[in-house]
């Protein structure tokens, strides 16, 4: 398992490096970030100082090297650079210090805050939303998939398949608008749910934050529809294939109950493709449900990224893309390792 982990981490590093190259070319190599920082009113001397501070006066290849040095956990800096950028980590050395640090994603053009701090403030909201959506999708999806497979060619099977096809076909932003309008506006008197709202509110008197989890219901429902539909179809298909295997008939011949056969034998061996869908969708949701968060006003990575794009705040957008790519890589590695735990047929060498 250790060798597999090392191999997967190596592949993950290569993928992330490719993402870094693309992100740099798209957002940093073109345009004039100094103009975005100062706006149209900045004088030439101030513009030149900003370009020097952002290393825009250097050749493009050197800008890329400096950017990689900033976002890499293992980096080399002078003491002045460490103090100036307020780097957090452990450094050793003389004039040039080498150290392990929290990746430095630079500073927001608009707020001047470190991008890492901006994203970390939004990350709890996205984690909460993704977990709630995936919990709904996993519980309902696996249950409906099992029912559809066991009751094949009945109205239960037909209804589950029809509903899952609609759920897969409908775009998230469309479903978000429909659900927000229906439950947050038309049926508001009965549901008590609002069109928009984040996971916390601020008391106008004391200034303290307090949880408002009822605002989680509509975006979690919207976000969970597509993964729920996919999990339902995958569970049904995989269960149908598994229920026709010889060892299932042998289990019935031994006198095991239908419940034991389905739960302990069929489901355990049919879960691998479902697991792939779960980890893949969870990574996507965790990386930021851009449209859903924006439509419902839910403060998460997606909403922060869309707001940053509107303001041309490219460091925040670049940091968000890198964070999303890192989440995808880590979740895929986790899924590969989890296969061997759930399915003993998967051998790790």
Q: How would residue 18 be classed by pLDDT, with cut points 50, 70 and 90?
A: very high
Please tell me the pTM assigned to this model: 0.81
Which residues, including other chains, have CB under 8 Å from residue 230's CB and lie 6 or more apart?
141, 164, 168, 277, 281
Name the average pLDDT for the chain: 82
Residue 105 pairs in a beta bridge with none
More confident residue, 144 or 262: 144
Question: Per-residue pLDDT tens for 3-12?
Answer: 777 888 888 8
Question: What was the pLDDT predicted at 31?
Answer: 59
Task: Look at residues 329, 221, 220 and name the one whose alpha carbon lies nearest to residue 283.
Answer: 329
Q: Please give the sequence-ordered ranges of beta strands (E in DSSP) within 147-261, or none if there are none.
A: 200-202, 209-211
Question: Per-residue pLDDT tens for 283-315?
Answer: 777 765 778 888 888 888 888 888 888 887 888
Q: Report the range of poorest mean pLDDT among 93-107, 222-236, 266-280.
A: 266-280
d(CA 136, CA 224): 6
Which residues, including other chains, have CB under 8 Å from residue 322's CB and lie 6 or more apart?
16, 19, 20, 23, 71, 103, 105
Does the structure show a pLDDT above 70 at 236? yes
| Separation in Å, CA 222 to CA 49, 168, 170, 194, 225 | 47, 12, 11, 14, 6
Asked if residues 288 and 328 have their Cβ atoms less than 8 Å apart, the reply is no
Question: Per-residue pLDDT tens for 164-203?
Answer: 888 888 887 788 888 888 888 888 888 888 777 777 766 6
Q: Which CATH number fits domain 115-342: 3.10.180.10, 3.40.50.300, 3.40.50.620, 1.10.3720.10?
A: 1.10.3720.10
Does the structure show a pLDDT above 70 at 36? no
Question: Domain limits of the chain?
Answer: 1-101, 115-342
């Amino acid at each position: 398992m250790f060798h597999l982990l090392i191999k997967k981490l190596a592949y993950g590093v290569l993928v992330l490096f490719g993402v870094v190259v693309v992100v740099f070319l798209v957002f940093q190599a073109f345009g004039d970030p100094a103009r975005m920082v100062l706006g149209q009113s900045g004088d030439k001397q101030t513009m030149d100082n900003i370009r020097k501070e952002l290393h825009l006066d250097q050749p493009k290849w050197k800008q890329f090297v400096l950017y990689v040095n900033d976002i890499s956990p293992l980096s080399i800096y002078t003491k002045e650079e460490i103090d100036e950028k307020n780097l957090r980590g452990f450094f050793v050395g003389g004039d040039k210090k080498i150290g392990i640090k929290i990746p430095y994603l630079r500073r927001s053009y608009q707020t001047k805050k470190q991008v890492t701090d901006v994203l970390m403030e939004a990350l709890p909201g996205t984690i909460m939303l993704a977990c709630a959506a995936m919990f709904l999708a996993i519980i309902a999806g696996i249950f409906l998939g099992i029912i559809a497979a066991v009751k094949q060619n009945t109205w239960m099977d037909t209804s589950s398949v029809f509903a899952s096809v609609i759920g897969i076909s409908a775009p998230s932003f469309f479903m978000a608008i429909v659900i927000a309008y229906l439950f947050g506006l038309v049926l508001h008197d009965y549901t008590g749910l609002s069109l928009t709202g984040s996971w916390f509110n601020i008391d106008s008197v004391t200034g303290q934050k307090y949880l408002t989890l009822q605002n989680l219901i509509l975006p979690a429902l919207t976000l969970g529809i597509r993964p729920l539909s996919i999990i339902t179809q995958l569970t049904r298909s995989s269960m149908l294939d598994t229920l026709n295997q010889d060892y299932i008939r042998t289990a019935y011949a031994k006198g095991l109950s239908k419940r034991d056969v389905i739960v302990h034998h069929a489901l355990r061996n049919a879960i691998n493709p479902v697991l792939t869908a779960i980890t893949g969708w969870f990574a996507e949701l965790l990386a930021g449900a851009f449209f859903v968060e924006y439509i419902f006003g839910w403060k998460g990575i997606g909403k922060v990224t869309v707001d940053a794009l509107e303001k041309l705040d490219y460091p925040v957008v670049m940091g968000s893309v890198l964070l999303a790519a890192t989440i995808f890589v880590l979740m895929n590695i986790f899924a590969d390792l989890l296969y061997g735990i759930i399915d003993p047929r998967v051998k790790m060498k």
